[in-house]
Amino acid sequence: MTEEPAEIHTAHEELIASLDDASAEILVLGSKALAPLLDRIPPGARAQVANMIGAYVHTAADAVECAPLILANLAKALDYAKQFAEQWQATMQAELPDPEQTDTEWEWLEQFGVQPLMAWWTVDMWISPAIAMLQHKQVRKLFGRNGRELVQQRHDALGEAYGRWWKELSSMLLLLDDEPLVVLHRESGTGYLLCMNGIADNFQLHTLLADALIGGGHLPGDPPSAEAVAMCRDATGQVLTTGAFNLVAPDGSWIWNEGTPSDIPVVDGTRLLVLDPPPYERNWPAGRYFPFVPADLALERVLTDAEVAQWLAHVRPPDTPAGMDRVMLTQMSIAPAHTTLPPSSRPDGDPTSPH
């Protein structure tokens, strides 16, 4: 493909070279000045500049200023990349090109258009700056749930059709803030109203639930260590912890620790989770999937007996997941502490922990 215009290429080189001697303050000021200009930067270099902004902008206030065009360009890149893939498959007698292994050709620019072509080659470069912006709660609130759902839909569409999908982006887009959660403990017949913020996966949620309900003296059992709880909130690192519950949806199906709080069904406008005894012992490294995203689970209040009865009306007995019988659960209950579910029994077939 032909070279960029000389003045653009030179400006890009000068910008990159200027980073070496710049102070942190100048880097932030420069990033904030560049963010509103992203749409005026040629598509080939735009994602690189966005990465620079994502690398140097750290405060929530600065991220709020820089995020809108970064997130808008991510949404457009996902859509244009899908458009390129559709056009390629409709017109070319070859597999889709691997951006890491294939150079673009000049004739493709005219055939596919600059935006779809560049999106296919650079869409992965928008992931890091987008996550850098979305790690701030203020940016997530600014972007709104509808905005995140739109990006998630485009991201999922590209992944389902053409295999380009990023777990980190998906998990970030699914983060819930100021989200009410009703929790019912089936054995004791008690219920609790909590509020979730910034919890990335159900390992983290499980640990914080055990702290709030067992550590808070509401339920019997062994609470997680103070260290494990801190690492699930805002401390760095990971430490081993043991599960206290089995997380269950109102319809009786299991909610896997490998999933996210967004998997918990909404009933009458509020997410509803049931806690059952763990069918086998399971350990995991407690901590945060996103090290720079503080999280919290706050117990708002204990529900009254009448409220618990109303919520229990929506609850069915627990199921045994497909592919898991009582014999398997019994074997798991006496297996070593690091037992993980067999891939065929997991919703995504992935036996690895996201931590």
The model's pLDDT over 158-211, given as tens digits with 9 standing for 90+, comes to: 999 999 999 999 999 999 999 999 999 999 999 999 999 999 999 999 999 999
Question: Above 50 in pLDDT, residue 218?
Answer: yes
Q: What are phi and psi of 354, to 5 degrees?
A: -70, -10
Helix, strand, or coil (residue 205): helix
Evaluated on CA atoms 342, 347, 350, 355, the torsion sign reads negative
% residues pLDDT > 90 (the chain): 79
Same domain for 194 and 295, yes or no, is yes
Question: Above 70 in pLDDT, residue 7?
Answer: no
Whether 30 contacts 53, CB under 8 Å:
no
Same domain for 164 and 196, yes or no, is no
Q: How many other C-beta atoms lie within 10 A of the C-beta of residue 114?
A: 14
- Choose the final residue of a domain: 173, 190, 220: 173
In the 8-state DSSP scheme, what is residue 345? Answer: G
Whether 22 contacts 30, CB under 8 Å:
yes
Same domain for 101 and 140, yes or no, is yes
Same domain for 160 and 203, yes or no, is no
Q: Which residues constitute the domain of residue 58?
A: 6-173
Structure tokens at 200: 């990335």
Structure tokens at 294: 């503080």
Same domain for 136 and 50, yes or no, is yes
% residues pLDDT > 70 (the chain): 84
Same domain for 147 and 40, yes or no, is yes
Find residue 274's DSSP bridge partners.
184, 248
In a domain, 333, yes or no: yes
Same domain for 52 and 130, yes or no, is yes
Question: Above 90 in pLDDT, residue 349?
Answer: no
Same domain for 12 and 154, yes or no, is yes
Question: Above 60 in pLDDT, residue 351?
Answer: no
Distance (Å, whole) CA 38 – CA 49? 8
Could you identify the residue written with the tokens 């059952």?
A: 276
pLDDT of residue 19: 61
Question: Above 50 in pLDDT, residue 243?
Answer: yes
Same domain for 97 and 78, yes or no, is yes
Same domain for 256 and 331, yes or no, is yes
In a domain, 353, yes or no: no
Same domain for 248 and 206, yes or no, is yes
In a domain, 1, yes or no: no
Distance (Å, whole) CA 81 – CA 100? 15
Question: Above 70 in pLDDT, residue 354?
Answer: no
Distance (Å, whole) CA 174 – CA 260? 8
pLDDT of residue 23: 83
pLDDT of residue 10: 67
CA angle 164, 133, 148 (to 5 degrees): 60
144-156 burial string, b = 16+ CB within 10 Å, else e? eeebbebbbebbe
Q: How confident is the model at residue 322 (pLDDT cuts 50, 70, 90)?
A: low
Same domain for 169 and 196, yes or no, is no
Range 212-219 average pLDDT: 98
- Choose the final residue of a domain: 150, 173, 196: 173
Question: Above 90 in pLDDT, residue 329?
Answer: no
Chain segment 59-79, per-residue pLDDT in tens: 999 999 999 999 999 999 999
Share the mean pLDDT of the chain. 88
Rg (CA), the chain: 24
In this prediction the pTM is: 0.84
Q: Which of 148-162, 213-227, 237-251, 322-336 has the lowest mean pLDDT?
A: 322-336
pLDDT of residue 44: 83
Q: In terms of DSSP H, where are the helices of the chain?
A: 6-18, 24-34, 43-56, 60-91, 106-112, 114-122, 127-134, 137-162, 167-173, 202-210, 226-233, 305-312, 326-333
Q: How many domains does the chain contain in total? A: 2
